[in-house]
Every structure is written in C-alpha cells, then in structure tokens.
Amino acid sequence: MKKFFSKPFGTEEQPIEEGRYRLFWSPLCPYAHRAVITREILGLDDAISLGTLDYRRGEEGWQFSLDKDGLDPVLKQYKIKDVYLNSDSDYEGPYSVPVLVDVTTGKVVRKESAELLHEFATVFRKLHKKDGIDLYPEHLAGQIDEWNEKLAVAINDGVYGMGFAENQEKYDEAFDRFFDMMDVVEEHLSKQRYFNGNTITETDIRFYTTMIRFDVVYYGLYSANKKRIEEYSNIFNYLKDLYQTPGFGSTTDFEAIKIGYYLSAGETIVPKGPEVDKWNQSHDRARFE
C-alpha cells in the first residue's frame, strides 16, 4: 500500500530551512494542537508559518473561512481538500489536519500528527531557539515511546472509542480502558513533575491536548463521565502547570473547541460552561524541582 506524504526531511527535495513550510491546523483538533504547541515551545514560529482553518468542519471539510475572502493568503486555496488534491492525485483522503505544506510547491509533505511532533522535535533541531526544550532526549527515548503507545490506545484514541461506540459493549470497553489508564497516570504523576521526569517531553504534549478538552467536551458529549479532572489531584495540578507554560495555554481556545465539537456532532446548542478560569489557578508541581 502506498504511504503518502512520507518522504524524509533534510534532502534536496525537502530541506530543513526557514520559511520553507506552512503548518495548517484547526483549534478544535487535539491532534493538530500537538504540532502547534511543539512549534511554539521550540521557537519554530518564525521558521514555519501557521494557517488556521475554521473550527467547524463543513460539508466540504476544513475551510479557510477565518481568512479574508475565505482564502489562505499563502497558498491561495479555499479548503484543505484542494491542498491535498493538488499534492497527489492518487490520494483519496482523509483530508485532515494537521498538515504541513511546502510553500514553494504548494504540496503536502506531512500529515500525521505524531510524525510532525517528533520531527519538529528532532529533525528540525537546527531551527530551534537556543534555549528550546529537548522533547525527545536520547536517554529517555524508550520510556517516551512506551508512554506514547500506552496513551495513544487508552487516552488519545480511547476517548473517541467512547464517543463513537457502536454499541454498549464497545462503549463500556473504551470507558474502562480510559479510566483505568487515568488511575495509572494519577499515581505516576504523584512522583514526578512530568511524565518522563522533570522536563517536558513529547508525552506531555500528547496527553495535554486530549485532557485539556476533557471537561469542556468529552465529559458530556462523549459520556466520559466517571470523574471530572478536578477529582484527579495530580493530573489536575499537572495540567494547570502545563497550561501556564508558554505555548500550551496560549494555543488553547476553549470556545473554538466547544463550538467545533458540538456543532460537528450535529448538536444545535453549545453549552455555556464549564468555567475555564481554573486553569490559571496556582498548582503544586514546583514541589518536584
């Protein structure tokens, strides 16, 4: 099976150079949010431009309706589907975000969020700001990979297992798997500031983008309603710590998340709550320094 948009970076065709690429995302999507946080905290915002799609995915998919005349100012396209079709005529979808585009050709070069996060953290290292975080330290690679895999199954994808379950049995399985892992994480975060020690890594970004959407969307819309985040003391304080870290809270748009999820699900009423001021409250994570 053909693997699309997977050519390596650092070649003549796809060099690592400032201004070469443009990242597209929607504030709704937790997977796209990964790439945007990574771009911010590594100081890649000057090297890789950012395009924001509407947080409501219409019949034509993700559109540039937030831009003047509904047109991306760089690629001169109206919807992300056209960017994909311009890139490879064999590609039949999904026309998803995040997506990284070579602005010199207008073609997609990468679309998988996990790959973008990892490659921004490693392959694009020469463009990082001088005091940037190492999100994938070599001595922690095995540990990071293990956590990433566990969270992908139980948390990142697992929450959708509840929201899109076809029957009670599948919902129950996803529910139990999700909250069993939450208990594991709660215990783990009682011992250290972040997942892999006292430094932020890929794992923290992956966990954050799902969990920061939990109270505003998943608890109600996806019936992920065993506990609220505040009932996990360590996770709650950990998330407040991250939210208050540059690049995390500044890229989290709660209203866009709520509106996007609820309207995409066919709902006609978007909840006013919950309050989100709690994320700016003090936390206790500095005790691990």
Catalytic residues: 29, 160
Structure tokens at 236: 């709650």
Distance CA 58, CA 204 (A): 31
Residue 98 Ramachandran class (φ > 0 left, ψ -120 to 50 alpha, else beta) = beta
| 229 and 212 Cβ atoms separated by less than 8 Å | no
Number of separate helices (H) and strands (E) present in the chain: 10, 4
Element of type H or E holding 34: helix 30-41
Q: Which residue has the tokens 């905290």?
A: 41
Distance CA 124, CA 42 (A): 10
DSSP assignments along 63-106, one per residue: B-TTSGGG--TTT--SBHHHHHHHH-TT------S-EEEETTTT
> Is 112 flagged in the annotation as binding?
yes
Distance CA 14, CA 23 (A): 15
Q: Counting Cβ atoms within 10 Å, is residue 139 exposed (0-12), middle (13-18) or buried (19+)?
A: exposed
| 76 and 97 Cβ atoms separated by less than 8 Å | no
* Alpha-carbon dihedral angle through residues 223, 159, 31, 120, given to the nearest 10 degrees: 140
Residue 225's DSSP bridge partners are none
Binding-site annotation, residues: 62, 112-113
Binding-site annotation, residues for glutathione: 62, 112-113
